[in-house]
Amino acid sequence: MLVEIWSDIGCPWCFIGKRRFEAALSRFEHAPEVEVRWRSYQLDPTLPERFEGSEVEYLSKVKGMDPAQVSGMLQHVTEQAAGVGLSYRFDELKVANTFTAHRLIHLARDTRGAEAAAAVKEALLSAHFEKGLDISDKAVLAGIGADAGLDAEAVREALSGTDYTDSVNADIAEARALGVTGVPFFVLDRKYGLSGAQPEDLFLQALTQAWAESHQPLQPVVAEGGACAVDGSGC
């Protein structure tokens, strides 16, 4: 079964949703037969490579919200993150454009497979929300790639050009075609879509239902007609 997850590295709920989904997947009896594919999305493609200011300043400017209201919202998200074992540090977060980081995920998948892509995705989210690293910095990205088994120099070379730009744009275009307006967005076997960092039990229910519908036995139609049997009779 294929699970595609559209998310943005700069989205705090995407990391929380990742953890809740993973917890549900660990309880799913057919987990070894589930392929998880990370798809790219950008909440703010107009963001400069690096925003010189805090997360509170950025969100206040973009959304026109009162800084105190933004601070309260971030505190709530921090508490939700702590509930799934994540340590968000919005005071240290570097606000940055995520496009190049998304290219790195595609590079990892293309050169090292799904496990490397998943490792890069995890490392990028942690770098951004927990470690205060600049995920638009190519040196940071090369280090993350190297930790996932990629050649650091090859990562620098690929990200210095336009490699995988089309792949990221294709993911974003497909999200629009599917009607995705926010992330995280989970698509199960192209049959079910779940928006947001849903509770663990809901993810498990969706996995179970999608699996059951995709693996129903063929129902025989009772009717007479010519047929060949395995033993050759009737032919």
In Å, how far from its chain's centre is CA 197?
11
* Cβ 118 vs Cβ 7: under 8 Å: no
99-143 pLDDT tens trace: 999 999 999 999 999 999 999 999 999 999 999 999 999 999 999
C-alpha span between 82 and 157 (Å, rounded) = 37
Mean pLDDT of 210-235: 58
Alpha carbons within 13 A on the beta-carbon side of 215: 11
Which amino acid is present at 194? L
Token pair belonging to 203 = 């993810």
Q: Which domains does the chain have, with CATH numbers?
A: 2-214 (3.40.30.10)
Global pTM reads 0.90
C-alpha span between 78 and 22 (Å, rounded) = 19
* Cβ 88 vs Cβ 11: under 8 Å: no
Cα Rg, the chain, nearest whole Å: 21
163-195 pLDDT tens trace: 999 999 999 999 999 999 999 999 999 999 999
Residue found under tokens 């594919």: 37
What does residue 38 show for φ and ψ, rounded to 5 degrees? -85, 125
Burial of residue 81 (number of CB atoms within 10 Å: 0-12, 13-18, 19+): buried
C-alpha span between 80 and 199 (Å, rounded) = 11
Confidence of residue 231 (pLDDT cuts 50, 70, 90): very low
Peptide bond into 184 cis (omega under 30): yes
